[in-house]
Amino acid sequence: MANYADIVEKARIAFNSNQTKSLHLRKHHLRQLLKLLNENSSDLQLALASDLRKSKQEAVLFEIEYLKNDIVNALGSVESWMKTERPDKPLINIMDDVLIHKDPYGVVLVMGAWNYPLQLTLLPVIGAIAAGNSVVIKPSEIAPATAKLIAELVPKYLNRDAFPVILGGVEETTQLLKQRFDYIFYTGSTSVGKIVRAAANEYLTPVTLELGGKSPLYIDGTVNMDIAVKRIIWGKCINAGQTCIAPDYILCTRQIQNTFVEKAKQLIKTWYTDDPKNSPDFCRIVSEKHFVRLLDLMTNSGSIAVGGRHDKKDLYIEPTILTDVKPTDPIMKEEIFGPILPIVIVDNAYDAINFINNRSKPLTLYVFSSDQEMQNLFMRQTSSGSFCVNDTVSHYAVENLPFGGVGLSGMGAYHGKHTFDTFTHRKSCLVKDFNIIGESFSSAKYPPYSDKKLSM
């Protein structure tokens, strides 16, 4: 195991010796990261295909291009993001300088997840660099090809001391978390999120926890069902359902369920052929452990209305829809994170809202309805990290919207400028001079005290 204390110390020296802080250096590091993505796109696509059998389109759209756009945006905006703010000041400070200085935290740790192993590792890094920090980068060992490639490429393009990459699993992460960081940004499961937060408590290190959970989807009879089915099945099938904001389960009436299932069956055939196993567009489950877990959930919950075929050797599970699912079934007890979509019957929207509010707060809540009152009802009566009406997943790409969870689905948020803000300490500053008029304004504060001074 590498000497983590040494690695973090070097990153701290790099930070303290101003190797990351100036606008010029921040832009230089961002450009280098852009260069890394441009010059190694094919290898990155191969690594993503090796880890998840990701198609070229999903690798380019959701990982490589997504990151490139974020870098270009940061390059164009970082100068204005960094600008010191001058808030309104009270009369007593009229002679003073009152400002908010944007301080980088220092040495930050970014721990990525395996499902979008490139994007979810480097997206926080972009904001951390823009904010002027040193960054210890820890990709997920569960996507080994991408993790290895990140570890090979980053030192070729970025300052090795300021931006070290650490590989490893539970044991390495446990040791790494014993170090003192100035900020920790973690993407992954809620259970490990709790471990990360407990470790951060040792030094009262602030954390962002981008976690998971079951994101519900409610659909009623006012929708354009052809479009709705496309948007829902797309959100569930990209990356074979291994997306933190994939719709986890559907809540609807029995009548809606029947129409949805029929249309979804046809759509899956159109998109992925009669046998989605042969479609180049459909990903694989990341590991045997997750495959076995998913199979267990699928075979012990509700009944299979669409799909259900699987192949352990190929880590393949076809797009599957389960009906007659009971709230007590195993599949309703944990986040699915796979291409299985259970439908739970509810009587109406109020029933659905109760169902949602009786469970832990989801990362995202989806509502499919053309009725604006219904949309507003869900928006006001439920709590979730994000909320999306009549589409799935797409809200993630709106960079001006902060992305994050609430309750057990996480704390903190990022994307676009919000990532810069996450990795920036807003330092309140009051700067006075020795002007005699300014001094007279505040002379009442000095002893000897008197009632006259109190009334001034």
Helix, strand, coil percentages, rounded to 5, for the chain: 45, 15, 35
Residue 131 is given by DSSP the state: T
Q: Does 141 bind ligand NAD (CB under 6 A)?
A: yes
Binding mask 58-87 for ligand NAD (x = CB under 6 A): ------------------------------
283 is catalytic: no
Our finding on whether 397 is near ligand NAD (CB under 6 A) is no
293 class by beta-carbon count within 10 Å (0-12 exposed, 13-18 middle, 19+ buried): middle
Residue 210 annotated as catalytic: yes
**What's the gap between Cα 357 and its chain centre?**
23
**Which residue's CB comes closest to ligand NAD?**
212
Catalytic hit among 244, 252, 283, 388? 244
Q: Which is nearer to ligand NAD, 142 or 285 (CB)?
A: 142
Closest Cα partner for 125 from 178, 81, 76, 70?
A: 70
Q: Which residues contact 358 (CB under 8 A, 6 or more apart)?
A: none
Rank residues 114 and 260 by Cβ distance to ligand NAD and give the closer one: 114
Footprint of ligand NAD on 283-312 (CB under 6 A): none
Interacting stretch for ligand NAD, rule CB under 6 A, among 86-94, 148-156, 209-217, 340-348?
209-217
Residues 129, 29: contact at Cβ < 8 Å? yes
Total of chain residues touching ligand NAD, rule CB under 6 A: 25
> Which residue has 């006075």 as its token pair?
432
Binding ligand NAD (rule: CB under 6 A), the pick from 40, 173, 179, 422 is 173
What contacts 268, CB < 8 A, 6 or more positions away? Answer: 233, 237, 276, 306, 307, 319
Among 104, 127, 132, 188, binds ligand NAD (CB under 6 A): 188
- Contact residue for ligand NAD among 51, 96, 210, 318 (CB under 6 A): 210
Question: What pairs with residue 316 in β-bridges?
Answer: 311
**Range 235-254, binding ligand NAD (CB under 6 A):** 244
Pick the piece of the chain touching ligand NAD (CB under 6 A) from 21-29, 134-142, 338-346, 439-447: 134-142
Restricting to residues 358-387, name those near ligand NAD by CB under 6 A: 363
The span from the CA of 86 to the CA of 245, in Å, is 38
Q: Is 445 exposed, middle or buried (0-12, 13-18, 19+ CB in 10 A)?
A: exposed
Query: Mind telling me the catalytic residues?
Result: 210, 244
Chain residues binding ligand NAD by CB under 6 A are: 113-115, 120, 140-142, 169-170, 173-174, 187-189, 192, 195, 210-212, 244, 335, 337, 363, 405, 410
